[in-house]
């Protein structure tokens, strides 16, 4: 009943006797009926406002908001207003989402450093991506995008470091014993059907790299836990590959393609070999974790293919595509197998 009053309530006609609105749904109302309805709306809105101040969350905002109450709710969000003596306060991520739903970019930008949820950060960046948005705000969106792509890549490397105790030692060995013996074009070359002596030596080097990475550093009595090939611990809630693809989708949807290309130049690998400087290592690591740590295997393979792309044209085949049909939206993502 109250919601019907919100919908039907209108301003009294100039003659003060009848109530009218644009749709004519309540033109039969008298001034007295109108006054009663106004009081009902006022009481209801006060109760809704009190509920929101008691528990200022995005969920409750969506439940209590009405066109007439919205300005007061937004003002409360800006003040983070709570009843005297209460310790409750609004989560920053909820405040940002409320501002974003209302296109209040001036309120969003100062809060960006306090938002850590990746999904919300992507939504904020998208809201700041439009060509009509202030240039300084769009720069903030680009910072979020660059940081998100970099952190998604670093998360895979970080997880590798966590499960391969000898990774640093393996990298040192690679630089000292391998890079000095092979020409750069050999280290970075793509595999070809003709298998030669250089290929065999490189494959042996990759096997040795993984062997060292899997064992712990035991020098000087510093015994670290070695790699456990049977362990499937870790990775709870992690989807390293999906995180990369989510940020990649935002990059692909960025309206200004020159800005997007500039960001990609900053975060991609400088050469096709990736962080360890030698083709084949990342692929081998992907297979190494395929059975027991699938989340890491998928993350390695996705990172290996995506961040090796030299430009947006090469990257385009990996960018998720979104299509809309009626009220349904579908996102298609490439399957990266090797």
Q: Own/partner pairs for 308-313, CB < 8 Å, 24+ apart?
A: 308/268, 308/269, 308/272, 308/273, 308/274, 309/264, 309/268, 310/268, 310/272, 311/261, 311/264, 311/265, 312/257, 312/260, 312/261, 312/264
Find, among 270, 274, 278, 265, the residue nearest to 185 by Cα.
278
- Chain position carrying tokens 């990775």: 235
Whole-model pTM: value is 0.77
User: Given this model, what pLDDT does residue 119 score?
Assistant: 93
The answer for 80, left when phi > 0, alpha when psi is -120 to 50, beta otherwise, is: left
Q: Please report, in tens digits, the pLDDT of each residue of the chain (338 residues total).
A: 455 445 444 444 444 444 444 445 556 667 767 666 677 777 677 787 888 888 888 998 998 888 888 998 899 888 874 444 444 567 888 999 999 999 999 999 999 998 889 999 999 999 999 989 999 999 999 999 999 999 999 999 999 999 999 999 998 888 888 877 776 666 666 554 455 667 777 888 889 999 999 886 444 334 444 445 444 455 555 699 999 999 999 999 999 999 999 999 999 998 777 788 777 888 888 888 888 899 999 999 999 999 999 999 999 999 998 888 777 877 887 777 66
**What is the spatial distance between Cα 138 and Cα 141, in angstroms, rounded to a whole number?**
5
């Amino acid at each position: 009943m109250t919601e019907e009053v919100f919908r039907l309530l209108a301003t009294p006609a100039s003659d003060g006797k009848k109530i009218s609105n644009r749709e004519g749904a309540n033109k039969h109302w008298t001034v007295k009926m109108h006054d009663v309805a106004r009081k009902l709306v006022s009481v209801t809105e006060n109760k809704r406002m009190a509920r929101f101040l008691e528990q200022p969350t995005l969920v409750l905002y969506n439940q209590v908001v009405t066109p007439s109450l919205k300005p007061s709710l937004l003002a409360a969000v800006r003040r983070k207003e709570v009843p005297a003596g209460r310790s409750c306060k609004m989560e920053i991520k909820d405040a940002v989402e409320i501002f974003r739903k209302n296109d209040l970019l001036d309120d969003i930008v100062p809060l960006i450093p306090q938002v850590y949820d990746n999904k919300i950060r992507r939504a904020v960046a998208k809201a700041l991506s439009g060509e009509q948005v202030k240039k300084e705000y769009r720069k903030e969106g680009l910072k979020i995008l660059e940081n998100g792509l970099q952190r998604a890549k670093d998360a895979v490397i970080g997880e590798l470091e966590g499960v391969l105790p000898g990774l640093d030692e393996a990298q040192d060995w690679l630089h000292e014993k391998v890079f000095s013996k092979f020409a750069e074009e050999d280290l970075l070359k793509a595999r070809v059907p003709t298998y030669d002596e250089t290929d065999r030596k490189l494959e042996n080097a990759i096997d040795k790299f993984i062997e060292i990475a899997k064992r712990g550093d035991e020098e000087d009595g510093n015994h670290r836990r070695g790699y456990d090939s049977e362990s499937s611990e870790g990775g709870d809630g992690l989807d390293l590959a999906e995180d990369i693809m989510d940020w990649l989708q935002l990059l692909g949807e960025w309206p200004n393609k020159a800005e997007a290309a500039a960001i990609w130049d900053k975060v991609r690998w400088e050469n096709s070999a990736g962080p360890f400087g030698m083709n084949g290592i990342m692929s081998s690591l992907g297979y190494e974790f395929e059975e027991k740590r699938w989340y890491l295997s998928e993350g390695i393979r996705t990172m290996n293919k995506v961040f090796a792309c030299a430009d947006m044209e090469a990257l385009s085949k990996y960018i998720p595509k979104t299509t809309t049909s009626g009220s349904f939206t579908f996102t298609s993502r490439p399957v990266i197998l090797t």
